[in-house]
């Protein structure tokens, strides 16, 4: 179950990175900044799951 949660976090991280890139290309700094904050949270969640699973990066 935790491994599935980590997979979901990593998928979300990839999507946020794509959206951030699109915002930069389209000149939307407000959405980009908002998404960067969400991305940071998601990366923290992934780090927590990796720690729980004993995965080192």
Count of structural domains within the chain: 1
pLDDT at 21: 99
- Residues 4-26 have pLDDT tens digits of 999 999 999 999 999 999 999 99
Return the number of other C-beta atoms located less than 10 Å from residue 9's C-beta: 20
pLDDT band at 2; cut points 50, 70, 90: confident
CA–CA distance, 12 with 6 (Å, rounded to integer): 10
Domain range holding 34? 2-53
Phi and psi of 29, rounded to 5°? Answer: -70, -30
CA–CA distance, 57 with 54 (Å, rounded to integer): 10
* 47-55 average pLDDT score: 92
């Amino acid at each position: 179950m935790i491994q599935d949660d980590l997979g979901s976090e990593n998928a979300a991280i990839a999507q946020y990175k794509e959206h951030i890139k699109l915002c930069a290309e389209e000149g939307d700094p407000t959405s980009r900044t908002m998404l960067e904050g969400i991305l940071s949270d998601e990366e923290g969640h992934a780090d927590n799951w990796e720690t729980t699973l004993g995965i080192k990066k």
